[in-house]
A and B are shown apart, each in its own frame.
Chain A
């Protein structure tokens, strides 16, 4: 139980284009999903928290117009990196939390490379 998938696992895009990353909870309903960014050899940095059917809450310093988050259903959240630049290259990881739970279950991550 508590399986979270992400798609794609790797993506390479050109500077200026947009990229969408999907995060799905496969066997439970996720009332809350989180998006993290991880730089090489570093810990996870929370970017935003999304609740199904409402606007995402972004952490300080994260541009909401650049990192668009949609949480349209209890099993799917998407992160769109708009007008990507090389400095957006990173490992993006989502997690999902069920109702009443304190535990987050993580997806396998998406490696984004912007050329």
Chain B
């Protein structure tokens, strides 16, 4: 069974701090996506990475796909209260199905 473990599970920080969320698996994925979900809403796609070692930047967010395509990280620079939410990584394989990570709940205080 493919599993995606995210760490940390919870993160509570002050505005302006930097943070990194990790997404790890023992399985290889052909693609990896990051989503952010706010309470009572569906997840919103942030980025898709498909190449080992790939780095993508989205304003203050930097996403990296591990060289072996088994892990990924999300780094947020100068976090803002608007970054608060549940961050989910999701790995794609040979089928259309996504395997979702365990989630990281981020709270940024002003």
Q: 0/1 per residue, A87-115, Cβ < 8 Å to B?
A: 00001010101000011111111010000
How many A residues touch the partner, as a band? 20 to 34
Are B96 and A44 in contact (CB-based, < 8 A)? no
Chain A residue nearest to B10 in the complex (CB): A41
Q: Is B19 an interface residue (CB 8 A)?
A: no
CA distance A41 to B104 in the complex (A): 10
A54: chain B residues within 8 A (beta carbon): none
4 A-B pairs closest in CB distance? A106-B42, A43-B103, A102-B31, A44-B100
25 A–B contacts, CB within 8 A, in A order:
A4-B42, A34-B97, A34-B98, A41-B105, A42-B103, A43-B88, A43-B100, A43-B101, A44-B43, A44-B88, A45-B100, A95-B42, A97-B96, A102-B30, A102-B31, A102-B33, A102-B48, A102-B50, A102-B92, A104-B33, A104-B90, A106-B44, A106-B45, A108-B42, A109-B40
By a beta-carbon cutoff of 8 Å, the part of chain A in contact with chain B is: 4, 6, 32, 34, 41-46, 49, 91, 93, 95, 97, 102-109, 111
B positions within 8 Å CB-CB of A? 30-31, 33, 35, 40-45, 48, 50, 88, 90, 92, 96-98, 100-103, 105
